[in-house]
Homo-oligomer: A and B are copies of this chain.
């Protein structure tokens, strides 16, 4: 997605060879008009997949998923990271390992919101280690639903997530594929 790549080159900040900050337009401050274009793009990519629900994980995937949901006209569900009095006890769970916090945590969706007839599109902001998407896929499997597609806004192809998911049979479509961030410069795959 050319508009997104240009924005990453203009406003993204490379903090190390692994950390790309896009919090001026994607995951702290949100450029809503860019997000709208992102939602529209995901719709164009997955519109023939008979999607019945969009699944994301809190926090940063929510804006992406909601904007895409506007085009699909289908409900968006965000998996919750913490046990909350506001979440039903009866949940499907997925396991996510956080490399930054060096611990495993669970994400949960109330059972009543996914059933075995659902064709689910997973959307998220970033793909790096692939843990959040793996966890969401576990939720979909536990519900007996079908994974109909996975889309992320930015993937870092030099980190292990993309290959790990591919080995599990899960293909991820990214709107921008960053192949390297050496010496402070972002390079995209062709």
Contact = CB atoms under 8 A, between A and B. Distances in A.
Interface of A: 19, 21, 23-24, 27-33, 35-36, 58-59, 62-63, 66-67, 69-70, 73-78, 80, 84-88, 100, 109-110, 112-113
Contacts of A112: 24
27 contacts: A19-B86, A21-B86, A23-B88, A24-B113, A28-B77, A28-B78, A28-B80, A28-B86, A28-B110, A28-B113, A29-B75, A29-B113, A30-B77, A30-B78, A32-B70, A32-B74, A33-B70, A58-B59, A59-B59, A59-B62, A59-B78, A62-B66, A63-B63, A63-B66, A63-B76, A66-B66, A66-B67
Q: In the complex, which of the residues A21, A28, A100, A113 has the most CB atoms of chain B within 10 Å of its own CB atom?
A: A28
Contacts of A62: 59, 62-63, 66
Contacts of A31: 75
Total identical chains: 2
B32 A66 contact: yes
A7 to B, nearest CB: 13
B69 A32 contact: yes
Contacts of A80: 28, 59
A190 to B, nearest CB: 28
Contacts of A63: 62-63, 66, 76
Contacts of A88: 23
A23 B75 CA distance: 12
B77 A36 contact: no
Given A23-B86, A28-B109, A63-B76, 19 more contacts: A19-B86, A21-B86, A23-B87, A23-B88, A23-B110, A28-B78, A28-B86, A29-B76, A32-B69, A32-B75, A58-B58, A59-B78, A62-B62, A62-B63, A63-B63, A63-B66, A66-B66, A84-B100, A85-B100
